[in-house]
Each structure stands twice: as structure tokens, then as C-alpha cells.
Structure 1
Amino acid sequence: MNEKIAQIVDSAGNLPRDILEKYQIIEVPFYYTFDGDTYFQENAEYSTVDFYQIMQERSNQAPRTAAPNMNDWIQAFKKAHENGYKKIIVTTISQALSSSYNNANLAQKMYLSNVKDLEIEIIASNSCSCGQAALEIKIAQMIHDAYLSWKDICTITKASIPYLTTLFTVKDLYYMKAGGRIGGATAFMGHILNIKPICEFVKGVVRPVKAVRGRNNSLLAMANIAISRLTQLSNPVICTQNALCDEEESFIIKHVLSGLSSDVPIYRGILGTVVGAHSGPASIGIGFVGDIPGNIY
């Protein structure tokens, strides 16, 4: 195909920086704040590593995040258009978790009201973090291969979302309580019993998958859940992300690879601020997506 296709993502997937550079992906950052007054753009003023270090320093002050605004999206569309792109595919965090998708749609309508030679498709991933990243890497690979049309890539992307898995586990329930993901009583009992829940994005929202006692057991259980699903997929794209726990991420990767029949590349990264604000330091996740069953392309 001779189409010149631009890929734009919000930073909820927190794609590895080398992937952004390799595939020339435009990232529209989320914002975060610790005091409610001063907001920073993700991956701009501070790195994601800095974000988690600040969380550790301000352990009694849970951060909050805010979606990219309409102007942020307009500037991204303008950048792609001015670089000669006539087709754009956009992916965002789940619509149920953030206004990023809605803001992108409002920006699309405004920008296209003055531009006639551009087409933009905006797709909510129904996910976040490493699962969203896996989907976005899959899109980048399809664009790079230049075998499919923009319309076909959009169709495959939408059809892939029901087969997308995003799992994560936390070390401390404090941040999930502070972010309203669990109640105070649940957090208290979880702390007393040393419960480390494994959670998943289901239809765009966070749902518990399994409650496990002990950190090592939760990591192993999450890896086993991933293996059981990955063995059902063809050509999976796999991403892992961690919040300052590289060794534990390596443990999960080693265990997952040992359970698969063939070597599969696993893209490592840092858990972004959108999930990290609610899960805290030492959280870790794995996300993946494979070919659509019966895919004719």
C-alpha cells in the first residue's frame, strides 16, 4: 500500500520510548498532580521513574491524573497533517476510565471542520497500560509492513480489542483505596491478610481476577494466568510494565517464556502514571493481543 498513515496514541499505554521513535508514533501525554494545583505532563517535565520516586517520598499524598485536553489532541493532528499524513489512526485509554477518547473526538470534529484532505479514526482500546501498549505495537507493525490499507488496519484494530488481555498486581493496597478502586474495609483486611490482588481490565474497567496471599504467589499466579491465555493465541504481541520492580518483571518474563512452546519477543516498559497513580510503586502488569481468530487479512 502507498498510503502514508500516522499513528497517534495517548500516554496511558506508556509505550517504550524506543518503540515511539522506531515507528514515529506521536504520543499525547496525560497530566498528573500531587497537590491538586501544579500539573505535569507525563514523560515531559519528569520521567515516569521520577514520578514513582516522588510517590515514595510523598507516601501520604496520592497523585491524581487528568486526560489530554482538546487542544493537546488538535496539536497532535496538526503535527501529523503538516508532516504530510492524510490518514491517522488514534488509540486511547478505555472510555470508561478517562475523558481522553471524548476529548480526541471533540478535537477531531474541530480540526476536520477546517481540513478536507485528512481522515482520522479514533479507537478506545477498552484497556490501559501494557495491554493498550500491546495493541499499539500491533498497529505500528501493521503500518510498518505496509501490506494493509488504513481502513483494514482500523477494522483489525477494532476487532482485536475483545481479545486483548491486561493483567496487573499491586504490592500495597493503599493507592487503590486512595483512588477509590477499593473500599477502606477491603484495604484493611487485605493488609492484615497480606492479600495481593490480581486485577484485569474487563470491558474497559478494572475487575479483580484472583486474590492471592503473598507477593511471590501473586506474581506466579499472574504469570500462570497469562500463560493459559497466551497458549490460545497466534502471533501474540506481549508487553510487561513495572513500577520500579525490574527484578520481579524479569521473573514474570522468564516464567511466561518457560510456559510457551516458542520464543516470543516481550516488550518491557515502565507502568505509566495513569495506572500507577492508583496502583503505586512496585506494581507490575502484563498485556497481550494476538491475531483475530479466523482473520481473513
Structure 2
Amino acid sequence: MENSSLENGKAQFVPTIRSGSWTDIGHRKCMEDEHICVDDLSKHLGLLFEGPQPYAFYGVFDGHCGAGAAIFVRNNLLRLVLEDVDFLQMVRKDGDFFIAAEKAVKNAFLLADLSLADDSDVDSSCGTTVLIALILGRSLLVANAGDCRAVLCRRGRAVALSRDHKPDLFSERLRIEALGGFVDDGYLNGELSVARALGDWDMKMPKGSPSPLSSEPEFQQVDLTEEDEFLIIGCDGIWDVISSEWAVNMVREELMQYNDPERCSRKLVQEALRQNTQDNLTVVVVSFSAEPPPVIERPPLRYHYIAAEGFRSLRGFLEAV
């Protein structure tokens, strides 16, 4: 019987997980960002998984109106995912990762949101955006509610693994307006600069009712290959001043030189500060190899020349237009 770990005669890619993170309060008076990095989830929890390794979990949480909601979600979201019975059975039996993980993560987001409504220690005006990345073997699942961002580096190219849930994003505006909300100058109901978040129960409908401010995550799925070099996840303080492509280029150059994900994270934060970002800063870089990224051989540029006679004809045509 053919080995299931073989594909077209070649062994499937198995990532070697390393991560680093960096945070900074920036120009704000208080720090409202939180994050979590677990490179070896089975070891971290003391559980014996029979599914493929590695098994890792990462998250960034951008709080607003205080850090309470971000701290609560950071402390509870992973537990809620892992308590899902179907998800644990899938992991132990090497089942369909994406189906079970999406279900478990979606339920965890919604449960965490409902728990915030009942937590007297968290003010009802306090909320947080949430982005997590879950890795099982070579399967990567990203879940996002808000304007944190996940970007994959695939052989030097930036691949978006999330959308920024801004209220004026066309699909979000349609959903908001269909549920009785409105968008004013880029703000949901004139108050909040994101269209999805956990918490903010002073803005949401009663429990069980659809709300213009949604806590439901969007998902992106990837089967990692040897071309996938690293993942960047960060709060919007980074992305307000640094494009995804710029971030990927910076991290790749830093990894090639120093091969240290934490140093890469610090570099991104320092660059965002240099670009005068006005927000808190949190970024996590997850490398999928023990080695630095390889040098990419670019094809030589090709130049096309126009003969003098052809150029004169073209100029005459343009002047006659």
C-alpha cells in the first residue's frame, strides 16, 4: 500500500516551527494589545496527540476602550477551541482538519464573545479584534474578526490570508446596513473603526440576535509546501504604515541575514515606529524552516527597442490624435 505521506512520489512538506514576537506601546498612553505564541501545543498542554506534528497556535488581540477584552480572549480562546469534542477526536484520528477546526474555532469565538457579555470585570464598552493561526502538520488555518492581518511569504511573495474588516469594506457595509446599522466616515454607527470584534456589548443587539458588529470570524486555509517560508500576523498598528509586501521583504531579508524570527518582529515594530504609527504595536513571525530563506534567482530583465523609423511613425500617430 502506498504511503499516505507521499505525494507524486515525493514526501510531503513538514514545517519546522519557530516563532518570535515583539510589542511596543507606541504613542498611546496604555497598552491594549495582547498576543500568544505556542510553538508546540501538545507539549504545552501535556496532551498526547496521534495526529500529524507540529501542532502550534498563535494569536494577536487588539483591544479598544481598555485591555480587558483582549486579556480575557487571550486567556480563554485556546481553551475553548481545545474543549471542542469533535476537534479533539479529529486531531487524534487524523481526520479532516479544516472542517473540524473551522467549526471549533467559530464556536470558540462566539462563546468567548458571549462570555464577555457576562463578565462583570470587563466593561461593556470594551472590545477586541482577534486573529489566530492554527497549525497541524502542514495544514494552516487563519481565523480573523477585525483589522489584524495575516500575511504568508511564499517564495518571496506576499500572500494575504485575511481581510481587514473595516466598516467601509463593501461586503461589510452591506452586512451592517442589512442589520440596521450604518457607516459614517468609516466608523460603524459613527463609533467604531472595525466591523467585527469580540466584546463591545454596549453596541451589540441582545444575545442571540444578529448584530451589525459581528463576532464571527472569516477563515483562510492553506496546505503548506516547501515554497511557504514564514507567516506574519500583526495588529493594525503595523499595517497602518507598512504594506504587506514591504513587511514580507523586510522579514525575508532579516531572516536571510540573522535567521531569528524574534529579531524580525522587532525590526517590523521599529520600522512602524519610524514611520510614525499612532497605535500600539504587536507582531508575530512564524518561520516554517530551520534554515534561512534561499536566495531567489530572478530572471534577467528584457528590454524592447523600437527602431528609429517605427518610433517616428508612432510619434506622428500620437501627435495626430
Q: Which has the higher helix share?
A: 1
TM-score (norm 2): 0.29
Bigger-Rg structure (1/2):
2
TM-score (norm 1): 0.30
